[in-house]
Chains A and B, each alone.
Chain A
Amino acid sequence: MSENLIEIRGLKKNFGDLAVLKGIDMNIRKGQIVALIGASGSGKSTLLRTINQLEEATAGEIWFDGQLVNQDLPHRAREKHLNQLRREIGMVFQHFNLFPHLTAIENVTLAPTMLKLQNKSDALTSGKALLDKVGLADRIDHYPSQLSGGQKQRVAIARSLAMSPQVMLFDEVTSALDPELVGEVNRVMKQLAQEHMTMIIVTHDLRFAEDVSDHVVFLADGLVVEEGPPAQIFADPKHELTQSFLKQVF
């Protein structure tokens, strides 16, 4: 059994009076591909966004690679600590969030060059390789407005990969796409899975979840209701909430 890359202990998150995460415990091993499923509003996005601290946790602990993510630090130190951590945690959003004023390649090379992880020409070389990997070698100088949704999302994935993160978080990355464009993005995630990238994939596409993941976590109303290997969860769910959720969706 390889070591845990992410450990979540008793994680709670409130928005004002609204308790969204109510005590989550979760371990993610290196190279593991976790599918996070659950009804809309169950807290999947919030969980992902707390892992990289786009949202501050209300209680509990998030450990990443042996470091406590949600440390109580003074503002400046906290910013520095988070900037370091976020380099290691890639995130891809439902609505791409590509930088519209930058071309595909500029989107990909911006952070590595600004953070002086690579010089310009190295960043360009590896950026091109990444865009090639996601099938966009011929689109490197296009602006986001000149790309289809599926192409945008693949640029966004390449942009995250450019930081050589240890884990990738995907938040419903195909939900905003036309159905015929879903496959090209799923293929990229599949390829990453085969390369043993650690991933947490939030998705409503249960067939894809079953296909790509080696561990499924079912979230309902801010709690982990059931988790296990995909074969078990999808074929033989134990909890009645899981059963009714799967019945509705499949």
Chain B
Amino acid sequence: MGLDFSILPEYSDYFLTGTLWTLALTALSMFFSISGGILFAVLQLNRHAIIRWPTSFIAWLFMGTPLLLQLFLVYFGLVQIGIDLNAFVAGVIALSLHFAVYNSDIIRSAIVAVDSGQVEAARSLGLSNFQALRKIIVPQAVANVTPALGNMMIALLKESALVSVIGVMELTLSAQRAISDSFRPFEFYIAAAAIYYIINLGLEQAVHFAERRTARYR
């Protein structure tokens, strides 16, 4: 059977809703993964080993295992302890957790990389530790993390396809549904890939823009 891309428009509804869900999933997970990443980074830099060690252990565990496995853990694990989430929420939690760990790594090294002379300079001007953090370290660290964090967010978009396996009706699963109706996997996966590709391009542009905006603080 040859290829026939002309049937794609018939299924445009699938693609539209799938794309919207993918965008929602990605945007929410980005937000939580960055917030979580900051929290994790701060915890891992804590003075007290009792706080540092467990967070470091979780980070190590999550960086060494596949996202897919973490997705199973969140989705089925929460059910086991009596929390029955819908798949979308479970997907957001798993993606956020997974990327929060990677983000925290980036954020932590960016904080550490800010020249300690900067803090000393700030303290010698009479700023408190917190003020030094907010006014001096954060702006520089933001500039330092933007490129790497941007790459993570681009990765997040693509990895979000995995939540199709727990039944979130995002772009990948929508394509699968359309395929079970049309029996044309090639055309539909190409179409889904093209949509991901376009979103990816947009995201790359956004990251470049953010990099340019923050570069002057470096």
The answer to whether A and B touch in the complex, with CB atoms under 8 Å apart, is no
Binding site for B on A (CB under 8 A): none
